[in-house]
Structure 1
Amino acid sequence: MEIDAAMRRKIVVSLVSVGAFFALFIGIGATYGPDLGETGGLALVGAIALFVLVMAGVGLVLQD
């Protein structure tokens, strides 16, 4: 089964977006340590909200 160019582009963009999300989580963990506290918790909630918005935007851009 061959994957056409458009599908490959969608896969790559999705993987990069998820990778950036994980990197952001790791960065927040490295910054605030194991005890996130109030500020770290807000940073995690903000990261999740940002991820949802970015994935929605990626979906809109990549729709056929």
Structure 2
Amino acid sequence: MSLGNLGAHWWVILIIVVLLFGAPKLPALARSMGQSMRIFKSEMRTKDDDGETKPAESSDTTTKP
């Protein structure tokens, strides 16, 4: 991935983030975002495992005369 392909607006956003948080705090910020995403994904998997998925459709067992 080449940084030259980024638009000018992304460079401005990157500079603003560096100015707001400072270079020393950026690794901690990235680590915290990664942990948050990991927790969110595990909670979504847990929600699916708790039985909150759609129930299976029942088959029609009636016979026609």
TM-score of the superposed pair, with normalisation by structure 1: 0.45
Larger gyration radius, structure 1 or structure 2: 2
Bigger RCO of structures 1 and 2 (CA < 8 A, at least 6 apart) = 1
TM-score of the superposed pair, with normalisation by structure 2: 0.44
Which structure carries more helix by proportion? 1
